[in-house]
A and B are shown apart, each in its own frame.
Chain A
Amino acid sequence: MIAVEHLVKHYRVAARSAGIGAALRSVFNRTYRTVRAVDDITFRIQPGESVGFLGPNGAGKTTTLKVLAGLLVPTSGRVQVGEFTPQDRRNAFLRSITLVTGQKNQLIWDLPPVDTFDLNAAIYGIGPDDMKRRLAELVSLLEIGEIITKPTRQLSLGERMKCELTAALLHYPRVLFLDEPTIGLDVTMQASIRRFIRGYCRRHGATVLLTSHNMADVSEICDRVILIDYGKLRFDGSITQLVRRTRPYKRLELRFSSPVEPERLQALGDVVLQTDSKAVIQIPRERLRASMESALKDLEAVDLTATDAPLEEVLAEFFSQRPDARVRR
């Protein structure tokens, strides 16, 4: 289980204005300010859960992940991952976790990925037979058989990311901290990485804490989301709960064989989009059934789909309702 209680992480950063004068002044008189990257957050994650950790840029997501991975020491608060306190950085703890980040490599840049895999196998004490079996499994799932002998520097971003995942998972960690694992990848590669992560968690019962700005990552991998903003926890619950709370509407997508007058559509709800053959209407959840019946009967819709608002829109709306109390020192 992951337990975070009243976690606070502050950074002290040097601050100066632009320009040569300010640069010279800072040599003699440097001013600092404290950034509250994470400001008293508390949550728990059960073993085997997959949780999306979301928020705008600078919200404190990556800082929290780094604290959980033992890279940063909290300013205050308590953090527990399994039976370990991450900041102690015990070997048994490091063997039980992995941190994959889309912006940092563990692959040795000048050598083929297979050399990093060998090195990791030796460091994590994976025997040759075990290593062969695990590598075969990961190589087959990620379809990287052709590329693991090419120098890392010559791989595409997507190929590198797949190899990063292989290197990060060879020791079969029980806890996965994933920081934007699909950043910069094309949609096919993103889908393949998501499929792989889901499969890994299912097979190994792993716990996942994922940060991503890609909502497809979140909706396909996670059952629950934690939202933070300016270092404070703003929401903790299922995606459904988040959608219902933020957007208590359903979207009705209608298709017609001939154009329908706008007034008739407005009678059903808020019209989000209308063309000659298609319309999207936002309807309060409690009126969904009646509206669907009316669309089929009165408007003679030939096709009808009811959906929730896209997660991107839900989050954009959620974070647009930020409290004003966000003073930073």
Chain B
Amino acid sequence: MNRRLLLATLLRTGLAQTVAYRGELVVWLLTTNTPIIMLIVWTAVAAEAPVGRYGTNEFAAYFLASLVVRLLTGAWVIWEINEEIRTGTLSMRLLKPLHPFLIYAAENIGAWPIRIVFLLPVVPLFLVWLGPSYLTRDPIQALLFVPCLLGAWGIWFSSMLCVGCLALYWHRSISVFDVWLAAYLAFSGYLVPIDLFPVWLRDWVELLPFAQILALPVNTMLGVIDRGRTITGLLLQLVYGLSFTSLALLLFRRGVRRFEAFGG
């Protein structure tokens, strides 16, 4: 098997699937608008008086960076797995001599070029509105932002795989993911920057996987944490990513033996 050709074909197919429905793609990307709403709400709050270290511009920088991170690290595999297990179409993936996780991953990664295109207006907006001083000035940290993004996507994707594989045991696991999503919204910094949390809570929240999915890459991009904290965060991402992937593989291997391949 030519691995490079396989990877290129998987990514090309993923991209082709993403752009198959242009209208749906635009609507779907617009649904990632929570950071913009948060930006409007928090800048209005900060216009009265700064909240912690956040003035209007700091909130704007934080939520524009959140939008960038969210768009680049999104995944949808949970819905795909659930639907395929429930309808039995997972069978078609199981017949192929390639682990379905790799195909799911390629389909999700294949959408990155389109996501980057949608980010293009955000970058000039950031620079014109706020100027480059709100971005990290440390070139090493700027480079570390890339693995931070990959790590964030890895945790998000592999945690979705874990929850998705529960459908092999319970037929549907979307409700479990809803709980996971609620925890993500609360503890990732998506709605409120984590450093506005009370200190006793913040110290714990910063260790959770949710903070590594959003707050870590955002704060690295903005340079509000030092290089050491970024590297610690990267290590945490690695631990969470590997743990979730291993758990997902285990759940899948055992779950497939219970799979009933409904329909057809």
Contacts and interface: CB of A to CB of B under 8 A. Distances in A.
Task: Give the one of A87, A102, A108 with max B CB within 10 A.
Answer: A108
A125 B263 contact: no
B95 A115 contact: no
B94 A71 contact: yes
Which range holds the interface residue count of chain B? 20 to 34
B21 A110 contact: yes
Contacts of B17: 108, 110-111
B10 interface: yes
Given A89-B94, A123-B96, A104 B259 contact: no
A107 to B, nearest CB: 9
Interface residues of A, number: 38
Interface stretch (B29-37, B84-92, B158-166): B84-92
A118 B17 CA distance: 14
Contacts of B9: 118-119, 121-122
A66 B261 contact: yes
B91 A104 contact: yes
Contacts of B16: 111, 115
B136 interface: no
Contacts of A97: 95
A71 B261 contact: yes
Contacts of B2: 122, 125, 127
A122 B10 contact: yes
B244 to A, nearest CB: 23
Given A71-B94, A95-B97, A106-B92, A125 B1 contact: yes
A17 interface: no
A98 B95 CA distance: 7
Given A104-B89, A119-B13, A179-B264, A72 B259 contact: yes
A101 B97 contact: no
A66 B91 contact: yes
A89 B17 CA distance: 28
Contacts of B89: 104-105
B257 interface: yes
A137 B96 CA distance: 22
Interface in B137-176: none
A66 B92 CA distance: 11
Nearest to B91: A71
Contacts of A121: 9
A189 B261 CA distance: 28
A94 B92 contact: no
A23 to B, nearest CB: 16
A91 B13 contact: no
Contacts of A43: none
B97 A71 contact: no
Contacts of B226: none
A91 B97 contact: yes
Contacts of A91: 97-98
A108 B259 contact: no
Nearest to A107: B92
Given A71-B259, A72-B259, A104 B97 contact: no
A32 interface: no
Contacts of A102: 264
A104 B92 contact: yes
Given A66-B91, A98-B95, A125-B1, A119 B20 contact: no
10 shortest A-B CB distances, which residue pairs? A103-B264, A110-B20, A125-B1, A122-B9, A91-B97, A104-B264, A94-B97, A106-B92, A122-B6, A71-B261
Interface of A: 11, 62, 66, 69-73, 87, 89, 91-92, 94-95, 97-99, 101-106, 108, 110-111, 115, 118-125, 127, 151, 179
Interface of B: 1-2, 5-6, 8-10, 13, 16-17, 20-21, 88-89, 91-92, 94-98, 256-261, 263-264
